[in-house]
Amino acid sequence: MDYEPQGSSARWVASRSSGRPTVTLVKAFERNIRTTRSWQLHSASDATHIIVDTAAGTTREALEEFTRDAHAVVIPVLPSEIDIHAASRCIGDLLLCTKIKPRDGRIGVVANRVKKNTKVYQALLRFLRTLEIPFIASLRDAQSYVHAAGLGEGIFELPEYKVRADLESWRPLIDWLHSPATRSAVEQTATSADH
């Protein structure tokens, strides 16, 4: 579900070749007055995972809506003073306005497009260590992501020998998404949906 007005996820899906696994896109950023909003946001019944891509400046009300049934909330943070401030506000809003609590283990931060030998990255690490939520992974600033996006592919769909270092940096995030806390949240969401 692409709620980002610039439609980056929509462009990525449109670029995918027919030989790749199907990714169904819901253009949540578009409003169609001829259909109901619930119909516009309807996801496929056979969907195994739903990823919601939101804008950086999402309102508190929208955060509450987006996270209502989420089993995990991943907050990407760029190593810049502006992004650190925006992430701090977003995390504060998440903790104040949603039903997700830090002890639930469902909110995590990922440092995105990092160059580890820079002062701003060190400042980002200091900020992340002050939070009540886990710092999960650092994804490096690499051309492989630009290349994958242009092809409509994921980093795991590129030849492994070209992206080995990037694949390794994803392992902590994947492990966290499959951790007992997030699996428990999935089971609780499924149980509440059944009732």
pLDDT at residue 19, rounded to an integer? 87
pLDDT at residue 188, rounded to an integer? 47
pLDDT at residue 189, rounded to an integer? 39
Cα separation, 30 vs 4, whole angstroms: 10
Low-confidence ranges of the chain (pLDDT < 50): 183, 185-195
pLDDT at residue 1, rounded to an integer? 85
- For 179-192, the pLDDT digits (tens) are 866 545 444 433 34
pLDDT at residue 181, rounded to an integer? 62
pLDDT at residue 182, rounded to an integer? 59
- Which residue intervals of the chain are DSSP H helices? 8-15, 37-40, 60-67, 81-97, 119-129, 143-151, 160-177, 180-194
Q: HSE, CB side, 13 Å, CA atoms: give it for residue 114.
A: 22
pLDDT at residue 171, rounded to an integer? 93
Its sign, for the CA torsion 187, 70, 22, 42, is positive
- Say if residues 75 and 135 touch (Cβ distance below 8 Å): no
Its sign, for the CA torsion 24, 27, 31, 37, is positive
Q: HSE, CB side, 13 Å, CA atoms: give it for residue 159.
A: 2
pLDDT at residue 92, rounded to an integer? 82
Cα separation, 69 vs 41, whole angstroms: 14
